[in-house]
Chain A
């Protein structure tokens, strides 16, 4: 069965600093990959997705993610973090050979220092 790992439960960065949130997946082929953000008390908002093609994908709010097949990774990046980016971030995988089940990582809570 596919699995998704987000190794960092909490990350704290200073406002204006760069950010990278890690995501690794376990799956035999190339899955569909997603990053979601959840602010407190809110639902999950799609930041970006990867299905095929260019391995560097651009998302909303200045986020990007890079798919690296050799590392089974799909890390999320932002060059300069804003205080409003403080939230929880979830990586998710849809595995086509597993009935298109949407599997989530455990999430990474991002805190931003002024």
Chain B
């Protein structure tokens, strides 16, 4: 297995633009988490899914953020419209079979 795959690795966008982050979890894992990491706030849980169903989205900061998991092998996190304060590293984590692995993250810069 190639592990948790996130794309893109880096994204630079202008304020107001839509941004879509992607995650491919490890096959067979039934939980998927989206985290945001900044120097000021550390790691923040945004949302997590179990068997493709959102379980807890209380960490999603605003309505500008949305996440989907249309199938077991793919999830997206969308920000529309993006703002400079959304600049952070966004991580996806995949949990199952007594394992918990992270992707390499997407570094988002909104200018």
Point out residues on A near B: beta carbons under 8 Å.
32, 34, 36, 42-46, 49, 51, 90, 92, 94, 99-104, 106-107
Contact = CB atoms under 8 A, between A and B. Distances in A.
Interface of B: 31, 33, 35, 42-43, 45, 48, 50, 55-56, 91, 93, 95, 98-105
A43 B50 contact: no
B43 A90 contact: yes
A99 B102 CA distance: 18
16 contacts: A32-B100, A43-B91, A43-B102, A46-B102, A49-B100, A51-B98, A90-B43, A94-B95, A99-B50, A101-B56, A102-B31, A102-B33, A102-B45, A102-B93, A102-B95, A102-B100
Given A43-B91, A44-B91, A99-B56, A104 B102 contact: no
The 10 tightest CB contacts between A and B, nearest first, are: A43-B104, A44-B102, A104-B43, A43-B105, A99-B55, A43-B102, A51-B98, A100-B31, A102-B33, A106-B42
B100 A46 contact: yes
The interface residues of chain B, by DSSP majority, are classed as strand
Contact of B100 (A94, A106, A107): A94
Contacts of B99: 46, 49
Contacts of B100: 32, 34, 46, 49, 92, 94, 102
A75 B3 CA distance: 27
Contacts of B33: 102
A36 B102 contact: yes
A83 B88 CA distance: 27
A44 B55 CA distance: 23
Nearest to A106: B42
Most buried by A among B33, B50, B95: B95
A44 B56 CA distance: 22
A46 B101 contact: yes
Contacts of B45: 101-104
Given A100-B50, A102-B95, 7 more contacts: A32-B98, A43-B103, A43-B105, A44-B102, A46-B102, A49-B98, A102-B100
Nearest to A32: B98
